[in-house]
């Protein structure tokens, strides 16, 4: 079986799309002028897909799961539950 990695995960794809939308939206209006807030929001959006990618690249499953749990705790409404 071929390993798709993090790019095959729907949640990673959604997180990447969210980051792209936030980057585009944050250039407009007052947010585009508040560089500190804009940059903080952008870093936050990128952190979702980055944590998924970093977790997938870990050497052990236990270490990878730690990143995924961290992500789920930090972004509970964005990461789908396993229910």
**Hey, where are the domains in the chain?**
32-83
C-alpha span between 68 and 11 (Å, rounded):
11
C-alpha span between 37 and 56 (Å, rounded):
29
The answer to pTM > 0.85 is: no
**How high is the pLDDT of residue 24?**
92
Average pLDDT for runs of 10 along the chain of length 83 = 70 89 90 88 87 81 80 64 49
**How high is the pLDDT of residue 76?**
62
**How high is the pLDDT of residue 83?**
46
């Amino acid at each position: 079986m071929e390993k798709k990695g993090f790019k095959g995960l729907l949640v990673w794809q959604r997180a990447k799309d969210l980051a792209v939308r936030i980057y585009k939206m944050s250039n407009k209006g007052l947010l585009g002028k508040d560089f500190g807030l804009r940059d903080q929001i952008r870093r936050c959006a990128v952190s979702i897909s980055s944590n998924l990618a970093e977790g997938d690249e870990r050497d052990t499953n236990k270490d990878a799961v730690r990143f995924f749990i961290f992500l789920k705790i930090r972004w509970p409404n964005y990461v789908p539950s396993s229910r």
